[in-house]
Amino acid sequence: MSARVRYRVCPDTGLKVYSSTEKLIKANAIAAVVFLAIGGLFGLMVALTRWPAVHLLPAEWFYLALTAHGLDVLLVWIIFFEIAILYFASSVLLNCRLATPRLAWLGFALMLVGAVTTNVAVLQGDSSVMFTSYVPLKAAPHFYVGIILFAVGALIGCCVFFGTLVIARQERTYKTSIPLVTFGALTAAIIAIFTIASGAIILVPTLLWSVGLISSIDPITYKIVWWAMGHSSQQINVSAHVAVWYLIAAVVVGAKPLSEKVSRFAFLLYILFLQLASAHHLLVEPGISSEWKIFNTSYAMYLAVLGSMIHGLSVPGAVEAAQRRNGFTNGVFEWLRKAPWGNPAFAGMALSVVFFGFIGGISGVVMGTEQINLLMHNTIYVPGHFHGTVVAGTTLAFMAVTYILIPLIFRREIIWKGLARWQPYLFGIGAAGIAIFMMGAGTLGVSRRHWDITFSDAAISFDHGGAAFMMLALNGVSAILASIGGVLYVLITVGSILFGKRRDVPATASPAQAPVAPPMTPVMAGYGSEATLKLPGTIVLVSVFFVAFVLYYFVNWKFVAELWPLR
């Protein structure tokens, strides 16, 4: 079989790109972008409804749109794109044919059928149970069937990835060890197996319950196991987008990890500890002990947070080292000032690192503190936090890497280069605004998943006050900004794929893509050369981050101390 497998050699990287891999990456990436467009539209409608002065949708449609928004972007867009990344990081980066392409197509078909089925269930109107579908709220059976099919498809995708790693090893398509980016993808795939297994353990019984074969499901057990899927699937995103950060830094400025050992160790910490995060959703739940809550919510003494903080140093550190090698050696920040900010891949990556760390990361750790969670549980602070991680972090990183994938895999030039330069800024700043203003409203007590904060239909009235209304208005404005960035992204990617200039002819140098890293000079002959380089800029950046982290953490303890005494 392998003798007949067709491939081409990429003119930019010299890597073999097999035609079966290429088609699968294209299919998964296109499906991802389609669902991003659908889910993003629902998201905009949700944000405009929560803006009290606009209040776009009626209540029924609001809860329907919110359910669809969560499913289509948090699950469908991200996992389709992750499958594309898995195939890229295995088959392309390892110079290897893809294992069982037919099975991979089966997985793709299952994911597509599942995603459509669940969307149909939601649009039919009797499954507005939110993305989390907490029992005993009951959705139509095909709501659960669709998610299960989607998960089985994704599981097949992960298995194809593992199979490809085995083939690459057997056929010795690479020397030494797998590249760091592939290692990060491997981390994501391992966590995905745990995630999908948890999903099956809880959603299969829930399906049986929804058709009447099981009489009841314990709501706390449901939450523990469901979040082993729901939260761990966000850890797939973290692993995947950190891998994407390293990938973009490598392609655009020729960055290499400061040390392979440290970066891989950080990924390993994700595998070992991130799954404990189910506890983040159970901190104010009855019937669970504080010991369990503290141990699990802190990922066993913050060891997974340690992993993210390591990447938070090593990604900018690798960029600084590479830029200094590229000749930008003046002062503390010349390397940063003269970074390729006009390249949408680099700009998207850099904003993603900053927003994920400062907004999503810090707020997540603070909110996950057992007692501080009393202030934030189920307020709109929660979606504020995860729009910082999943939208300003993951989605922005995935958008950024698209600007690399289109020339390499689709072999088309990016159209509208001038607009493409601005796209990551529009989307990124919009997404960061969404996150910050929702967190602001949440701090003021505004509830998440709530149609009317004026409580006009309620027997007992309540007024949140002007500041909360302003936060939600600013959230709406930010959502419009992010939507403009999102629409641009969809137009640019789809337009480039359909109408971009073909890059079939090899040897056309593309200015958008930076050259491969410059040759090593003797001074830097040691591994990575990093031991010989100073990284003052990175030290300043992580110090600012650390100070912000510590201050924000203790400010929230102050808020807790002002609450009514509870015991």
Partner 1 sequence: MAISPPERRLWWKEPLHRVEIIWIAVAFLWGLVMFFAMVYWHAYGQQNLSNEAYRVVPAAFSEKVEAMVKKYKVGEHKSGMPIVRPPPGADVYMLARTFEWYPILQLENGKSYRLHLSAMDVQHGFSLQPININLQIHPGYEMVLTITPKKIGDFTVICNEYCGLGHHAMTGRIVVIDSTAQQ
Positions in 260-319 near partner 1 (CB under 8 A): 260-263, 282, 284-290, 294, 298, 301-303, 305-306, 309-310, 313-314, 317-318
CA atoms within 13 A on the CB side of 368: 26
3-class SS of residue 39: helix
Kindly state the smallest distance separating residue 415's Cβ from partner 1, in Å: 25
Contact between 184 and 264 (Cβ < 8 Å): no
Kindly state the smallest distance separating residue 375's Cβ from partner 1, in Å: 5
d(CA 57, CA 103): 42
Which part of the chain contacts partner 1 (CB under 8 A), choosing from 159-167, 200-208, 367-375, 383-391? 367-375
Cα torsion 3, 4, 5, 9 to 10°: value is: 80
Kindly state the smallest distance separating residue 192's Cβ from partner 1, in Å: 21
Q: Which is nearer to partner 1, 146 or 184 (CB)?
A: 184
The Cβ of residue 277 has, within 10 Å, a number of other Cβ atoms equal to 21
**Does 255 participate in binding partner 1 (rule CB under 8 A)?**
yes
**Does 519 participate in binding partner 1 (rule CB under 8 A)?**
no
Kindly state the smallest distance separating residue 105's Cβ from partner 1, in Å: 26
Q: Which is nearer to partner 1, 326 or 447 (CB)?
A: 447
Q: Which is nearer to partner 1, 36 or 471 (CB)?
A: 471
Kindly state the smallest distance separating residue 408's Cβ from partner 1, in Å: 11
Q: Which is nearer to partner 1, 100 or 510 (CB)?
A: 510
d(CA 65, CA 123): 8
Kindly state the smallest distance separating residue 329's Cβ from partner 1, in Å: 17
d(CA 326, CA 320): 10
Contact between 315 and 350 (Cβ < 8 Å): no
Contact between 12 and 3 (Cβ < 8 Å): no
Contact between 233 and 75 (Cβ < 8 Å): yes
Contact between 367 and 281 (Cβ < 8 Å): no
> How would DSSP label each residue in 61-73?
HHHHHHHHHIIII
Cα(first)–Cα(last) distance of the chain, in Å? 67
> How would DSSP label each residue in 187-198?
HHHHHHHHHHHH
**Does 334 participate in binding partner 1 (rule CB under 8 A)?**
no
d(CA 135, CA 144): 12
Q: Which is nearer to partner 1, 374 or 477 (CB)?
A: 374
Which part of the chain contacts partner 1 (CB under 8 A), choosing from 114-122, 364-372, 472-480, 486-494? 364-372
Interface with partner 1 (CB under 8 A), residue from 112, 251, 274, 482: 251
Interface with partner 1 (CB under 8 A), residue from 3, 460, 505, 507: 460
**Does 522 participate in binding partner 1 (rule CB under 8 A)?**
no
d(CA 457, CA 3): 70
Contact between 57 and 45 (Cβ < 8 Å): yes
Q: Which is nearer to partner 1, 9 or 498 (CB)?
A: 9
Number of residues near partner 1 (by CB under 8 A)? 109
The Cβ of residue 558 has, within 10 Å, a number of other Cβ atoms equal to 8
Interface with partner 1 (CB under 8 A), residue from 105, 162, 174, 341: 174
Q: Which is nearer to partner 1, 260 or 413 (CB)?
A: 260
Kindly state the smallest distance separating residue 381's Cβ from partner 1, in Å: 10
Residue type, 2: S
* Residues of this chain, 461-490, that bind partner 1 according to CB under 8 A: 461-462, 464-465
Kindly state the smallest distance separating residue 124's Cβ from partner 1, in Å: 15
Q: Which is nearer to partner 1, 154 or 280 (CB)?
A: 280
Which part of the chain contacts partner 1 (CB under 8 A), choosing from 110-118, 334-342, 499-507, 529-537? 529-537
Kindly state the smallest distance separating residue 366's Cβ from partner 1, in Å: 9
* Residues of this chain, 72-91, that bind partner 1 according to CB under 8 A: none
Residue type, 257: P
Interface with partner 1 (CB under 8 A), residue from 145, 181, 277, 391: 181
**Does 538 participate in binding partner 1 (rule CB under 8 A)?**
yes
Q: Which is nearer to partner 1, 71 or 181 (CB)?
A: 181
Tokens of 431: 């997404």
Residue 308: closest CA among 251, 245, 371: 245
Q: Which is nearer to partner 1, 250 or 420 (CB)?
A: 250
* Residues of this chain, 124-153, that bind partner 1 according to CB under 8 A: 128-130, 134, 136-137
Cα torsion 81, 396, 499, 410 to 10°: value is: -40
**Does 217 participate in binding partner 1 (rule CB under 8 A)?**
no
**Does 12 participate in binding partner 1 (rule CB under 8 A)?**
no
Residue 348: closest CA among 492, 501, 515: 492
